[in-house]
Amino acid sequence: MAHTVAAELELESHEAAADDRVMFGFWVYLMTDLLMFAVLFAVYAVLHGNTAGGPAGNELFSKPLALTETLLLLTSSFTCGLGMIAARRGNKAQVLSWFMVTFLLGLTFLGLELREFSQLIHEGHTLSSSAFLSSFFVLVGTHGLHITSGLLWMGTTLVFVKKRGLNRHMVRKLSLLSLFWHFLDIVWIFIFTVVYLMAFV
Amino acid sequence: MPKKEKKNSLLKILGLILLGLIILGFTIKTFLHGHNVALFNPKGMIAHEQLRLMLLTAGILLAAALPVVAVLYFTAWKYRESNKKAKHEPDSRHGWLLNAVIWLIPGIIAIILSLIMWPATHRLAPQKPIAADAKPMTIQVVSMRWKWLFIYPEQKIATVNYVQLPANIPVQFELTADDAPMSSFWIPNLSGMLYTMTGHSNHLNIIADTLGDYPGRSGEINGAGFAGMQFTARVSTAADFKSWAEGVRMLDTPLDTTTYDTLLKPSENNAQASYSSVEDGLYDTILMKYMNAGGHDHTGHDNAEHGAHHE
Amino acid sequence: MKEFLIGRLTRHALPHEWFTIGGTAAFVLMAVFVIAILTWTKRWRWLWNEWLTSVDPKKIGIMYFLVAGFMLVRGGLDAIMMWLQQAISVDGAHGYLTADHFQQIFTAHGNIMVFFVAMGFIFGLINYIVPLQIGARDLASPFLNTLGFWLYVAGVIMVNLFFVLGGEYAATGWLAIAPLSGIDFSPGVGVDYWIWSLQISGIGTTLGGINFIMTILKMRAPGMTLWKMPMFTWGSLCSMVMAVMVFPLLTATLFLLFFDRYFGAHFFTALGGGDPMMYTNLIWMWGHPEVYILVLPAFGVFAEVVTTFSRKRIASYTSCVLAMIGVSVFALSVWLHHFFTMGAGANVNAFFGVMTMVIAVPTSVLFLVWVATMHKGRIRFDTPMLWFLGFVAVFTIGGLAGVVLAVPPADFQLHNSLFLVAHFHSNVIGGVLFGIFAGITYWFPKITGFKLNERIGRYAFWCWIVGFCMSFIPMYILGFMGATRRLDHYESSTGYQPFYVLMLIGGIIIAIGVALQIVQVIASIIQKKRDTTGDPWDGRTLEWASASAPPFYNFSSIPQVTSRDAFWEMKQQGLPAKKYEDIHMPTNTASGIYIAAFAFLAGFAFVWHINWLVVVSIIGIIAVAIARTFNEHTEYTITAKEVKKIEEDRQAKVSAYRTKDNRPDMGLWEFIMVVLKFFLDAVRSKRWRTR
């Protein structure tokens, strides 16, 4: 079967159009995810004062911890960006290394958050202790679940990049992933402000 | 189908519709005879005003909508395919005038209705005390599963599943719930409803102007016993109300903690009851139970014991 | 050990009451019937390859119709059960249903009708028609499309599963208001089934919404700007934009309720600092836009029907589109009118009352545009137009009732009364359901290739109108009498009973109407009056440019669009010559089925607290998702030569049919005779008799 140049060009433009659609669709998905977070923020805003006689945020949260987590995520967003630049340049080795760093930073963030949660639970401050704690755990926990999914996504993608190389499909995947990662970073900034900083106001 | 047959069938359809509606109308009228069409049978100022507002709104809307619907059906009939006399302009372009008219007319009606609605909503806000010559009184309402407790703080008595009111005296109902989902307190002959919720105290101001017994119920589903959760509102003269209150005080049926806890347990179709004495601030105690709630996960009636003992 | 394996499932969860046994038996019988037919006709492979794993939006659309139609009957049976109970449970007689059972029935009825009937039909229509209307071959993401459908099916199964396991559904009303839906007041599995059937299908809806938006915004035919799109596409776009904005709110709220029930959280509990009022706010922030999500595509259908059957262009395209957008925008600002009686201050109530008035304005504009469209048209009264005319009366009644309800002091008397119930049924039946019926009868020739029986369709239409009036006009009256909704019994002194009896009779007439609609479809299939042109109504929009039924690639070459009513324009200028080009089509995939199956298992595991199954299901979802998204070979190409052959074969087949099928429509009596003859022949035939 003869592949004409015209047919190949046509396939190119067809696939480029598909990529454009997928990127756009992913933005729409991110907006829906943001709306879901908006509900959780609204719920936190309404309920954070309902401590049922128990401790409030200023007694439970650690500012240094929150700051560390923020710096970790911010840095990971930066390295993710560097990874994307490498991806557009077609530099497979750099993609792998920058995204590995991003992965490790994200993993550390997750570890710190899990440690914070387990400490709170160990001290008897659980999701069922009060409305304040319910809304705290669900808001921050949902973000943590998203980070986990992002890490899973990142790990899988890196494995496939290593195997298949940096083809068009992989670059598209990495763009979507980096969009997701930056989005999670932005949501974290809000969490840092609304949950951790405002607890001490 | 030949033209004559089609015209006949259209008239037949219209005739049948009209006949059907007339029969339905008569049937409904017969069914309504002798019954309490509560919303059209207001026995207090608030219900009167609410009915007036409903009729005014409905009147304006019908005046606006019925001509449009009639024009629509008439247009459909006039420009039917078989009517060769009607003009057919398939590509006619309508200018800015049509657009202006079709937005303005509904817009103006919406503005008129809003201008009526805004002050009416303020005037008829349930929380707004009613201005009258007589001194207002308070009755506290606690909705439970599945009965109504009425506390008369000024008379220091309580009743279950019936409420006694004096006519022509503004009554402020304070509404809450205990160990129950959201319900709503509703005496349709006297006023619209308002939710009763644990940990919240809603205020509903009513004034009755006609003596009689009126049905009351919850408008909000609250569990299996929902349908049976009814009460009677008994409107009597102020003098009769006073003597009724004195009569209840002379009974030997105090609403103490044990009695209250028994009452709080889920039960349906409770008989009407009167209690000769009520502990001071019972209503506030009930409210506080939910505002100072501990982080327990017990079902409500466990905490009822907690709450009562905290006093 | 047992608790680890099967969580809170016990033998008691198996059917042991008359209705659970009956329901289970019915499902088993239906399943046996389907399996028997598939096995006898050796169609398993065909079913899997041609339908279940298909990503063709036309096939997915038809599957949506079938499931939604089935659920319409299921939800309708709920309605008849309710009418029957209310007609007889007076004074001492408590009817044939316990209060709790009755409450489960109306909860299920509401959920089924909104989520699985209305959404199902709407998604079916959008799937089938929008790509054809905009000149696309498929949706933007065929995978998301099949995934969305199967998530919807998972929700359908979940909402019916309680018959087989658990024996109870939520008894809280269709939105399960807290704290009634909390674990304290609803300790059984009913509310959990409620949560997960809505959660799973809701996520499917969000994905579908994203998909439709991507498609409409990015895949229109060249030359079709937004301002040249057909009305149904506009209605669908507005609806889907609202869907992606508000379904995430539902997702979050359902998760929060789930956390309350499963983990003992305190979001909506009465104690522990929870705030049940917040649940009411959140659920209605989703709930109100939801009804506009349902009705906007229906408005789109009516706009198409009015223009086509008036043989005239729409009187004001701009106003029509702006009105649809206006409805969408304002739909997001009225939610509090569902709980004026919760005790907000006068300013808050008045604000939301005014916003509700505002939303009536664009709706009225639409009506006025349609009147102006009919003016100086040449109107045919085929069934789709009849449904439009029925819609006008029924929807107007509901709309006027709605504006009365929008006045807070009036609402204080009418909230949760049967007046309210009559209002929203008038709007949902008159608007959404009649719109669906109009759409299905309008596009039936396109979808199946033959015309729908008009005669029986008329009978069905009138049954619906008469039945509706008999059922819902008494309901408005009952509202004035102070009758609350959801009552399972009442006193005879209230005088309600005669009205309930009227309503039951009306309901039976509606049921006859539905039966006639099913008969209508079967009769049409029997007669097969073929539409050979692809354009039976002399249509105006692009879907009529394809064949009836369209080939799987929709158009052999994507048309170039130069104006609104693109097909009408093409017909005036002369249809373009046939061109053939290479076509890229997506391959079928079973990933949607697998992910939905795992999602169903996860929901099931949550309901029964089977934690290991939760973990396994989530891993399953992730595994299939990874396998699918890292699969780079999801398309195949058909060469222009192959397309030409397909088209020419089709042409040959079509010319074999008679060009003008003027046979009169089969009447009801004739239908009964045909069916009887079929069964008598089958009995007499020797094929199944053993020797």
* A79 in contact with B, Cβ within 8 Å: no
* A124 in contact with B, Cβ within 8 Å: no
Task: Report the distance separating Cα B206 and Cα B186, nearest Å.
Answer: 11
Task: Report the distance separating Cα C358 and Cα C549, nearest Å.
Answer: 42
pLDDT band at B7 (very low <50, low <70, confident <90, very high): low
> What digits encode the pLDDT tens for the residues C570-585?
888 887 778 888 899 9
B4 vs C95 pLDDT, higher one: C95
Q: Which of A22, A130, A156 sits opposite C266 (nearest CB)?
A: A130
pLDDT at B309: 36
Task: Report the distance separating Cα C530 and Cα C662, nearest Å.
Answer: 10
Task: Report the distance separating Cα A156 and Cα A148, nearest Å.
Answer: 12
C442-452 b/e with 16+ CB inside 10 Å = b? bbbbbbbbbbb
Mean pLDDT of chain B: 88
Q: Do the domain assignments include residue A136?
A: yes
- Cβ atoms of C137 and C218 within 8 Å: the answer is no
pLDDT at A3: 62
**What's A95's domain CATH number?**
1.20.120.80
CB-CB under 8 Å, B290 with C270? yes
Q: Do the domain assignments include residue A34?
A: yes
Task: Report the distance separating Cα C338 and Cα C288, nearest Å.
Answer: 8
C252 vs B21 pLDDT, higher one: C252
The strand ranges marked E within B207-285 are: 212-218, 230-236, 254-255, 273-275, 277-278
Averaged pLDDT for residues A179-201: 95
* A64 in contact with B, Cβ within 8 Å: no
Sole residue written with tokens 């029997």: C526
- Cβ atoms of B215 and B187 within 8 Å: the answer is yes
pLDDT at C617: 97
> Which chains sit next to B, with 3 or more Cβ pairs under 8 A?
A, C
CB-CB under 8 Å, C213 with A28? yes
The strand ranges marked E within C485-630 are: 583-586
pLDDT band at C485 (very low <50, low <70, confident <90, very high): very high
Quickly count: other Cβ atoms within 10 Å of residue C453's Cβ. Answer: 28
Give the total number of structural domains in chain A.
Answer: 1
Residue C435 has pLDDT above 60, yes or no: yes
Structure-token pair, residue C169 = 């559904």
pLDDT at C368: 94
* A52 in contact with B, Cβ within 8 Å: yes
Nearest to C594 by CA among C64, C53, C47, C38: C53
CA-based nearest distance A61→chain C, Å: 20
CA-based nearest distance A128→chain B, Å: 7
Structure-token pair, residue A174 = 């990495």
pLDDT at B8: 66
Quick one: what percent of chain C has pLDDT higher than 70? 99
pLDDT at C628: 94
Residue B246 has pLDDT above 90, yes or no: yes
Quick one: what percent of chain C has pLDDT higher than 90? 82
* A54 in contact with B, Cβ within 8 Å: yes
What's the burial of B252, exposed, middle or buried (CB within 10 Å: 0-12/13-18/19+)? exposed
pLDDT at C116: 97
Residue B303 has pLDDT above 60, yes or no: no
Averaged pLDDT for residues C50-67: 96
- Chain A neighbors of C637, CB-CB under 8 A: 11
CB-CB under 8 Å, A10 with C274? no
Task: Report the distance separating Cα B287 and Cα B277, nearest Å.
Answer: 19
Asked if omega into B146 is within 30° of 0 (cis), the reply is yes
Give the CA distances from residue B231 to residues A8, B148, B234, C432, in Å, rounded to whole numbers and listed in that order. Answer: 80, 7, 10, 39
pLDDT at B153: 95
pLDDT band at C659 (very low <50, low <70, confident <90, very high): low
- Chain C neighbors of B32, CB-CB under 8 A: 477, 481, 495
Q: Which chain C residue is nearest to residue A132, measuring alpha carbons?
A: C273
Neighbouring residues of B228: CB distance < 8 A, sequence distance ≥ 6 = B146, B268, B269, C489
Q: Which of C273, C361, C376 sits opposite B110 (nearest CB)?
A: C361
Q: Do the domain assignments include residue A23?
A: no
Tally of CA atoms within 13 A in the half-sphere of C313 that contains its CB: 18
> What digits encode the pLDDT tens for the residues A43-57?
999 999 999 889 999
Neighbouring residues of B65: CB distance < 8 A, sequence distance ≥ 6 = C396, C399, C400
pLDDT at B305: 36
C150 vs B1 pLDDT, higher one: C150
Q: Which chain A residue is nearest to residue B297, measuring alpha carbons?
A: A128
CB-CB under 8 Å, C341 with B92? no
- Chain B neighbors of A52, CB-CB under 8 A: 293-295
pLDDT at C295: 97
CB-CB under 8 Å, A52 with C266? yes
* Alpha helices for C415-496 (secondary structure H): 418-427, 434-448, 454-480
> What digits encode the pLDDT tens for the residues C486-545?
999 999 999 999 999 999 999 999 999 999 999 999 999 988 888 888 899 999 999 999
Give the CA distances from residue A70 to residues A37, A109, A176, in Å, rounded to whole numbers and listed in that order. Answer: 18, 8, 22
- Cβ atoms of C107 and C169 within 8 Å: the answer is yes
Residue A114 has pLDDT above 50, yes or no: yes
Q: What is the ipTM of this complex?
A: 0.95
- Cβ atoms of B192 and C484 within 8 Å: the answer is no
Q: Do the domain assignments include residue A129?
A: yes
Residue A64 has pLDDT above 90, yes or no: yes
Range in A40-44, B24-28, B70-74 with the lowest mean pLDDT: B24-28
Q: Do the domain assignments include residue A121?
A: yes
Q: Which of C214, C247, C259 sits opposite A21 (nearest CB)?
A: C214
Whole-number CA gyration radius for chain B: 28
pLDDT at B307: 36
Task: Report the distance separating Cα C182 and Cα C323, nearest Å.
Answer: 40
Averaged pLDDT for residues B67-85: 90
> What digits encode the pLDDT tens for the residues B22-66?
888 888 888 888 888 999 999 999 999 999 999 999 999 999 999
pTM comes to 0.94
Q: Do the domain assignments include residue A3?
A: no
Neighbouring residues of B29: CB distance < 8 A, sequence distance ≥ 6 = none
- Chain A neighbors of C282, CB-CB under 8 A: 39, 43
Task: Provide the residue range defining the domain that includes A35.
Answer: 29-200
pLDDT at A152: 97
Neighbouring residues of A164: CB distance < 8 A, sequence distance ≥ 6 = A170
Tally of CA atoms within 13 A in the half-sphere of A101 that contains its CB: 17
Averaged pLDDT for residues C300-324: 95
- Cβ atoms of B163 and B272 within 8 Å: the answer is no
Test the A interface: residue of C184, C255, C266 with most A CBs within 10 Å: C266
Task: Report the distance separating Cα C187 and Cα C107, nearest Å.
Answer: 16
The contact set of C with A (CB < 8 A) is 140-141, 206, 210-211, 213-214, 217-219, 244-245, 247-249, 251-253, 255-256, 259-260, 263-267, 269, 271-275, 278, 282, 582, 584, 622, 626, 629-630, 632, 637
Task: Report the distance separating Cα B283 and Cα C469, nearest Å.
Answer: 47
- Chain A neighbors of B292, CB-CB under 8 A: 53
Sole residue written with tokens 């949950």: A195
pLDDT band at A4 (very low <50, low <70, confident <90, very high): confident
pLDDT at B136: 94
pLDDT band at B294 (very low <50, low <70, confident <90, very high): very low
Sign of the alpha-carbon dihedral angle for B9, B10, B13, B16: negative
Averaged pLDDT for residues C45-53: 95
- Chain A neighbors of C214, CB-CB under 8 A: 21, 24-25, 28
* B297 in contact with A, Cβ within 8 Å: yes
C478-501 b/e with 16+ CB inside 10 Å = b? bbbbbbbbbbbbbeeebbbbbbbb
CB-CB under 8 Å, C319 with B293? no
Can you give the length of chain B in residues?
311
pLDDT at B300: 32
- Cβ atoms of C679 and C552 within 8 Å: the answer is no
- Chain C neighbors of A50, CB-CB under 8 A: 266, 272-275
Residue A169 has pLDDT above 50, yes or no: yes
Q: Which chain C residue is nearest to residue B303, measuring alpha carbons?
A: C271
* Alpha helices for C161-275 (secondary structure H): 190-218, 231-263
CB-CB under 8 Å, C272 with A52? yes
- Cβ atoms of C398 and C262 within 8 Å: the answer is no
- DSSP-based three-state secondary structure for B183: strand
CB-CB under 8 Å, C407 with B57? yes
pLDDT at B12: 82
pLDDT band at B306 (very low <50, low <70, confident <90, very high): very low
pLDDT at C680: 86
pLDDT at B87: 82
Q: Do the domain assignments include residue A4?
A: no
* B310 in contact with A, Cβ within 8 Å: no
Task: Report the distance separating Cα C453 and Cα B171, nearest Å.
Answer: 64
- Chain A neighbors of B295, CB-CB under 8 A: 52-54, 128-130
Q: Which of B57, B72, B189 sits opposite C404 (nearest CB)?
A: B57
Region at C7 (left for phi over 0; alpha for psi -120 to 50; beta for the rest): left
Q: Which chain C residue is nearest to residue A20, measuring alpha carbons?
A: C218
Q: Do the domain assignments include residue A98?
A: yes
Cα angle, residue B37 at apex, residues B34 and B39 outer, rounded to 5°: 155
pLDDT at B4: 53
Task: Report the distance separating Cα A86 and Cα A90, nearest Å.
Answer: 6
Residue C145 has pLDDT above 60, yes or no: yes
Largest CA distance in chain B: 88
